């Protein structure tokens, strides 16, 4: 659990040179390197409603203005509203389980049982807004056509070559005609707004009447000037789901299962499943000028056995190295063994050249002692971690290579 709670104590070096904790790194098997959050591509997988888990492709989500039509939240407390059925009429209304607000309070008529999309009142300005957006679309096509005409003229100027004499095999003529039409038809016009000095005054109580109600911010955003009695339910915004790719080879490093109901990963290339984890197993007391030991635990979270060589980084002048390097083999963890309590002998301590530095070995973890002599007081122990794991490459026929990752173990309390 300590690896969950203090995951930022020990930093691993990413292939891009940044340092991050192991849990936040990925390992691309195709490039055989680590990737961190700043050297991956994040893409939007799909949109989904966090309440009904209905997913929507990007185009549909845009049409729906990124909101779920079936789910609404309470304008008072932002809890998702539940559908209730009226005993007498069989019609449904929405009600909040926390503050007991209901669509009946807002004077919205009950809907029939079969309605899935709760109706929203029409924006009184929607006709005008559509007019304006249509006008801008028209302007856009005209500008585009004119720009295209200018660029293509230069390219197809063959001196007296008349394209219209040939059959329109590739639809070029059609395209040119459409463009011509776009330029020649008169631009649509919309009524522009006229400034007026005749503005109705705000009612005197406008600042007092609504001030007493504490509403969620996204409700104030949508319904800024409403009274308590005229609040409307708010459609639930959709959430985007991320997928992560390697920046270089563009293979997926993280992708969730297609169905939003499923919580498992389809692809997950977490560095934790490839690189051994290092933890400080006990608090460190360092005395300058005296030989001290640092107790570390190495864990193998991968599905394969791993060969590890751990060396303190020599180019650091903060301490004098006593233990040159530690060479160990770590077995993978078999989840069934943990449940069944299988005997430890199965994970017999593999051959090791530096067994005097091994404190304990249990299943997929090994405790080691690193002796060194500090010259000054230092807060961070640099290590070079060499490991050989079959999982580091995507190619099946090749045998595993030695990989190296630099680690900084935080020593302060």
Partner 1 sequence: MEQKKDITILPGDPAALVVETSNLSGKIKFSSGCIVHPTASIKATNGPIEFGESNLIEEQVVIENLSEDPLIIGPNNHFEIGCVIHASSVGKNNVFGVRSIVETGAKITDGCSIGPKCLVKPFEKLSPRTVLCGNLNCERRSNDDPPSIASQMDHLRLVIPKYNKIIK
Residues that bind partner 1 (CB under 8 A): 76-77, 84, 95, 98-102, 104-105, 213-214, 228
Instruction: Return the number of the residue (105 or 334) whose C-beta is nearest partner 1.
Output: 105
Instruction: Return the number of the residue (90 or 240) whose C-beta is nearest partner 1.
Output: 90
Given a contact cutoff of 8 angstroms between Cβ atoms, the answer to whether 10 and 278 are in contact is: yes
The entry of Zn ion, partner 1, none that residue 214 binds, CB within 5 to 8 Å by partner kind: partner 1
Q: Rule CB under 5 A: say whether 42 interacts with Zn ion.
A: no
Instruction: Return the number of the residue (28 or 298) whose C-beta is nearest Zn ion.
Output: 28
Applying CB under 5 A, the span of 41-49, 167-175, 372-380, 389-397 interacting with Zn ion comes to 41-49
Given a contact cutoff of 8 angstroms between Cβ atoms, the answer to whether 30 and 44 are in contact is: no
Q: Which of residues 211-250 bind Zn ion (CB under 5 A)?
A: 246, 248-249
Q: In 75-231, where does DSSP find H-type helix?
A: 126-155, 172-184, 206-209, 217-222
Quote the CA–CA distance of 201 and 197 in Å, as a whole number: 11
Quote the CA–CA distance of 381 and 387 in Å, as a whole number: 18
The entry of Zn ion, partner 1, none that residue 36 binds, CB within 5 to 8 Å by partner kind: Zn ion
User: Which of 56, 61, 68, 234 contacts Zn ion by CB under 5 A?
Assistant: 68
Residue 22's nearest CA partner among 411, 407, 412 is 407
Instruction: Return the number of the residue (226 or 411) whose C-beta is nearest partner 1.
Output: 226
Contact string 106-145 vs Zn ion (x = CB under 5 A): ----------------------------------------
Q: Rule CB under 5 A: say whether 322 interacts with Zn ion.
A: no
Q: Rule CB under 5 A: say whether 26 interacts with Zn ion.
A: no
Instruction: Provide the CA 318 distance to its chain's centre, in angstroms.
Output: 39
Instruction: Return the number of the residue (192 or 214) whose C-beta is nearest partner 1.
Output: 214
Q: Are strands 358-362 and 306-312 parallel, antiparallel or unpaired?
A: unpaired
Residue 211's nearest CA partner among 188, 234, 198, 227 is 227
Residue 203: strand pairing partners: none
The entry of partner 1, Zn ion, none that residue 228 binds, CB within 5 to 8 Å by partner kind: partner 1
Instruction: Return the number of the residue (105 or 337) whose C-beta is nearest partner 1.
Output: 105
Q: How far is the CB of 106 from partner 1 (least distance, A)?
A: 11
User: Which of 11, 13, 22, 28 contacts Zn ion by CB under 5 A?
Assistant: 28
Given a contact cutoff of 8 angstroms between Cβ atoms, the answer to whether 75 and 231 are in contact is: yes
Q: Please state, as a whole number, how many other Cβ atoms lie within 10 Å of the Cβ of residue 320.
A: 14
Q: Which residues contact 128 (CB under 8 A, 6 or more apart)?
A: none
Q: Rule CB under 5 A: say whether 76 interacts with Zn ion.
A: yes
The entry of Zn ion, partner 1, none that residue 105 binds, CB within 5 to 8 Å by partner kind: partner 1
Q: Please state, as a whole number, how many other Cβ atoms lie within 10 Å of the Cβ of residue 275.
A: 26
Number of residues engaging Zn ion in binding (CB under 5 A): 25
Q: How far is the CB of 213 from partner 1 (least distance, A)?
A: 8
Instruction: Return the number of the residue (82 or 133) whose C-beta is nearest partner 1.
Output: 82
Torsion of CA 158, 164, 165, 169, to 10 degrees: 100
Q: Please state, as a whole number, how many other Cβ atoms lie within 10 Å of the Cβ of residue 365.
A: 20
Q: Rule CB under 5 A: say whether 394 interacts with Zn ion.
A: no
Instruction: Return the number of the residue (103 or 323) whose C-beta is nearest Zn ion.
Output: 103
Quote the CA–CA distance of 16 and 33 in Å, as a whole number: 9
Q: How far is the CB of 79 from partner 1 (least distance, A)?
A: 10
The entry of Zn ion, partner 1, none that residue 16 binds, CB within 5 to 8 Å by partner kind: Zn ion
Exposed/middle/buried for 390, CB within 10 Å: 0-12, 13-18, 19+? middle
- Polymer length in residues for the chain: 413
* Helix orientation angle between 172-184 and 126-155, rounded to the nearest 10 degrees: 130
Q: What share of the chain is helix, strand, coil (3-state, %, to 5)?
A: 25, 30, 45
The entry of Zn ion, partner 1, none that residue 213 binds, CB within 5 to 8 Å by partner kind: partner 1
Instruction: Return the number of the residue (103 or 311) whose C-beta is nearest partner 1.
Output: 103
Quote the CA–CA distance of 23 and 37 in Å, as a whole number: 11
The entry of partner 1, Zn ion, none that residue 32 binds, CB within 5 to 8 Å by partner kind: none
Site residues for Zn ion per CB under 5 A: 14, 16, 18, 28, 30-31, 36, 39, 49, 51-52, 68, 70-71, 74, 76-77, 79, 96, 98-99, 101, 246, 248-249
């Amino acid at each position: 659990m300590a690896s969950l709670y203090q995951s930022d104590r020990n930093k691993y070096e990413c292939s891009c040179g940044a340092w991050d904790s192991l849990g936040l790194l990925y390992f691309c098997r195709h490039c055989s390197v680590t990737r961190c959050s700043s050297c991956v591509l994040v893409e939007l997988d799909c949109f989904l409603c966090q309440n009904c888990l209905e997913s929507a492709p990007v185009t549909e989500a845009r049409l729906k203005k990124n909101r779920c039509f079936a789910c609404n939240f309470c304008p008072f407390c932002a809890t998702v509203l539940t559908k209730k059925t009226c005993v007498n009429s069989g019609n449904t209304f929405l009600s909040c389980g926390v503050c007991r607000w209901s669509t009946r309070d807002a004077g919205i008529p009950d809907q029939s049982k079969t309605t899935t999309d709760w109706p929203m009142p029409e924006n009184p300005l929607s006709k005008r807004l559509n007019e304006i957006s249509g006008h801008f679309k028209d302007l856009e096509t005209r500008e585009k056509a004119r720009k295209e005409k200018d660029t293509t003229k230069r390219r197809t100027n063959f001196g007296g070559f008349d394209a219209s004499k040939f059959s329109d095999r590739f639809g070029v003529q059609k395209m040119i005609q459409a463009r011509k039409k776009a330029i020649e038809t008169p631009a649509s016009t919309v009524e522009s707004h006229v400034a007026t000095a005749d503005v109705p005054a705000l009612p005197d109580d406008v600042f007092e009447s609504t001030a007493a109600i504490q509403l969620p911010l996204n409700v104030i955003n949508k319904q800024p000037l409403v009274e308590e009695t005229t609040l409307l339910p708010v459609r639930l915004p959709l959430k985007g789901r991320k997928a992560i790719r390697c920046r270089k080879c563009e293979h997926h490093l993280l992708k969730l299962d297609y169905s939003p109901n499923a919580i498992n990963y389809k692809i997950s290339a977490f560095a934790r499943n490839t690189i051994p984890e290092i933890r400080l197993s006990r608090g460190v007391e360092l005395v300058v000028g005296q030989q001290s030991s640092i107790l570390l635990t190495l864990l193998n979270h991968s599905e394969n056995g791993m060969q590890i060589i751990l060396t303190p980084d020599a180019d650091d002048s903060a301490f004098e190295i006593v233990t040159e390097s530690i060479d160990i083999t770590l077995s993978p963890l078999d989840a069934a063994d943990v449940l069944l309590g299988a005997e430890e002998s199965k994970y017999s301590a593999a051959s090791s050249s530096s067994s005097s530095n091994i404190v304990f070995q249990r299943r997929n973890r090994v405790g080691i002692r690193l002796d060194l002599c500090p010259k000054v007081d230092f807060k961070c122990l640099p290590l070079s971690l060499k490991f050989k794991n079959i999982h580091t490459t995507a190619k099946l026929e090749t045998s595993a290579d030695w990989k190296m990752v630099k680690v900084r173990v935080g020593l302060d309390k």
